[in-house]
Amino acid sequence: MMDKKVRDLINQQINKEFYSAYLYLDFSNYFEERGLDGFANWYYIQAQEERDHAMLFYQYLQNNNERVTLEAIAKPDRVLDSDMSVLKAGLEHEEYVTSLINDIYAAAYEVKDFRAMQFLDWFVKEQGEEEENANDLITKMELFGSDPKSLYMLNSELKARVYAAPSLVL
């Protein structure tokens, strides 16, 4: 039987991951309205990833005969007033999610739940990649975003991104 605190944190994480998907869909909408379909695509794929992350946590609880508790998903409340503010909000959100994953890991470590720790290892690595990607996007926007031709090229690069489902074995 799973430790109550670990189970509760994982249930909360399901909600946070679905919220992340909502947030990134909101970002995608912002860029679509701006005519930056590549940026919109990038965040649309981010939303798909977050949804799948939620489902991995969901499946993990089910595989361990634990009850999944679904709660209401909050509406994104960010004011999206510039391209850069959206990108920085994305990085800030990924840093927040990293802290949540770390909290679950710490709780699992405290009760010596090695199975949960092994499961969470993938998410720890994934969050490192997510933060790096968000930082890279900010750097590219700082370098090229003020030049229309460069912004067009960056948008085209982001438009080429395709979705690859996570390959985590539960």
92-121 pLDDT, tens digit per residue, is: 999 999 999 999 999 999 999 999 999 999
Q: What are the backbone dihedrals phi and psi of residue 133, each rounded to the nearest 5 degrees, phi first? A: -60, -45
Range of 59's domain?
Answer: 4-159
Q: Which residues contact 94 (CB under 8 A, 6 or more apart)?
A: 127, 130, 131, 134
Based on the structure, what is the number of domains in the chain? 1
User: Which pLDDT value is given to residue 23?
Assistant: 98
How many angstroms separate the Cα of 103 from the Cα of each of 34, 109, 117, 120? Answer: 37, 10, 11, 11
Copy the structure tokens of residue 165.
């489902």
User: Which pLDDT value is given to residue 59?
Assistant: 96
User: Does residue 69 belong to any structural domain of this protein?
Assistant: yes
User: Does residue 131 belong to any structural domain of this protein?
Assistant: yes
pLDDT along the chain (170 residues), means of 10: 96 98 98 97 97 97 96 92 96 98 98 97 96 97 92 95 76
Residue 105: give its domain's CATH number.
1.20.1260.10
User: Does residue 82 belong to any structural domain of this protein?
Assistant: yes
Burial of 5 (0-12, 13-18, 19+ CB in 10 A): middle
User: Which pLDDT value is given to residue 170?
Assistant: 58
User: Which pLDDT value is given to residue 168?
Assistant: 62
